[in-house]
Structures are given as structure tokens and as C-alpha cells.
Amino acid sequence: MLHNFTNLELLSLSAVNISSPIPVNISSSLRYVDLTDTNLRGVLKENFFLLPNLERIYLGSNDLLKGVFPKIHRSNTLLMELDISETGISGELPHSIGTFSSLNILNIQGCQFSGSIPDSIGNLTQITELILSNNHFTGHLPSTISKLKHLTSLNLFDNSLGGAIPHVFSNLQELVFLDFSNNNFTGPFPSSILNLTSLQYLDLSHNSLNGTIHSWVFSLPSLRYLKLHHNQFSRVADELKTNPTLVTLYLSHNQFNGPFP
């Protein structure tokens, strides 16, 4: 039916039980597609992303939508928001994700992605919200994330990322929300977080971070929520600076020795 609407620019069927594959042969004029929670079935295909005017795609909460993320062979310079969260899409996130150079929001939370996060993620220089949580990503956090200077939210919780957290935060001055919890990160507290003067929420819990929690961590000027529990920190700095913005502090299940400051 939809192929009859040749000038259609906006399609919203959210929460309508259409129980079918993603429509094909739909209007090339489409700018906005919302098929969230519609019981979509079948496989996510490349041609859907090649509609020339698409700016926003919402396909989340469709657990019967399967397949791998298509390898896009040409740049989509218009797409600004892409949400495929809570679907059955699996496999690796392809290097071609970097061709979506105008993306402001990428949400792939709660899928079945595996493998490493590609370095090309650093090409998404307009992105403000990067949500890769609750997948099966492994390997190191790519240093190219340092290029994403407009990020306000970076969410990687519930993966299997490991190694030391790289010093990628110096350029991320707009970051407000940072959640790396439930991974396998090791090494000391990343000192470049000191630069995040807009940060309000920081969760590094349930990792294997170690060493000292320095006093400046508690005095980040905008910080309200700090969660460092279930790590291997051995010491808290002798002197804690007052921070009137901090309302929640979790430090339990570490390896502290001696008196607490």
C-alpha cells in the first residue's frame, strides 16, 4: 500500500502491530520513519538506508527484526538520528558506520552486536548521543572517540570491553553523561576525565579499575552522580574537596585499606 504514496515524507506507525517486514518500495521522499514497537519481522536491508532524503529512522523495540547491520557503500549525509535499539540485529558494527557523517544520535542498545567498536566511529563528528550499551562488544575502546567533541552522552554499559580506558576525554567538553559500567576495564582512573567540567553522571562500576581515586574526582564542578563500586581501587586521596553538587556516591566493594578520609 505504501508504495502508492509517492510524495510521502513522514511515516509514523509506532506501537501499531503491523507484524510484517520493513516495507519496501516506499517513497523516496521519506525524511522521517518511526516503526518503533510494531512487531517488525525479517531482515534489515541496505536499500532502506539508501533512501536519499532520510533524516530520522526509529526501528527500536522490535526483537524479531534480525540480520546484520548493512555495509553501506555510499555516504548518507542527511541521516541525523538512527535508533535500532532492542532488536535482534547482530554481528559486527561495520566500518561503514562512519559514512553517516551527519548523525546526531546513534542508539543500538540491547542488540546482539559483537566484535570491536570500529575506529571509524570517530568520523561521526556531529554526534551528541552515542548509545552502544547492552551488547557483546569486545576489545579496546577506540581512541578515535576523542574526535567526538559534541558528545553529551556516551553509554557503553554491559559489554565486554577491556584494557585501560584511553585518554580520550580532553576534547569532550560537552559531555554530561558517561557510563562504562559492567565491562572489563583495567588500570587506573582515567585522568583526562578531569577535563569534563560539564559532566553530571559518571558510572565506572563493575570493572577492574585500580590504584588511587584522586581528590579531583570528587570536585568535578557539575558532577551529581559518581558510581565507582565493584572495582579494585586500593586508596582514596587523603583530602576530599567539598563538592555541593554531588548527591550520589557509591564506593562499595573495592579494596580500600586504612582509614577513610
- The model's pLDDT over 45-76, given as tens digits with 9 standing for 90+, comes to 888 888 889 999 999 999 999 999 988 876 66
**Mean pLDDT within 211-219:** 91
Residue 204 · residue 227 · CB < 8 Å: yes
Answer whether residue 40 shows pLDDT above 90: yes
Per-residue model confidence as pLDDT tens digits over 226-250: 999 999 999 998 777 668 899 999 9
d(CA 167, CA 191): 7
| pLDDT digit string, tens, across residues 166-191 | 999 999 999 999 999 999 999 999 99
Ordered by start, the domain boundaries in the chain are 2-250
C-alpha torsion angle, residues 133, 135, 139, 140 (rounded to 10): -10
List, for residues 194-206, the tens digit of each pLDDT value.
999 999 999 999 9
pTM for the predicted model, two decimal places: 0.94
Give CA–CA dist 34/8, Å, rounded: 13
Given this model, what pLDDT does residue 46 score? Answer: 84
Say which DSSP state 140 is in. P
Question: Does domain 2-250 correspond to CATH entry 3.40.50.11540?
Answer: no
Q: Which of 13-27, 28-42, 211-225 has the lowest mean pLDDT?
A: 13-27
* Res. 34: pLDDT tops 70: yes
Query: What is residue 228's predicted lDDT score, i.e. its pLDDT?
Result: 97
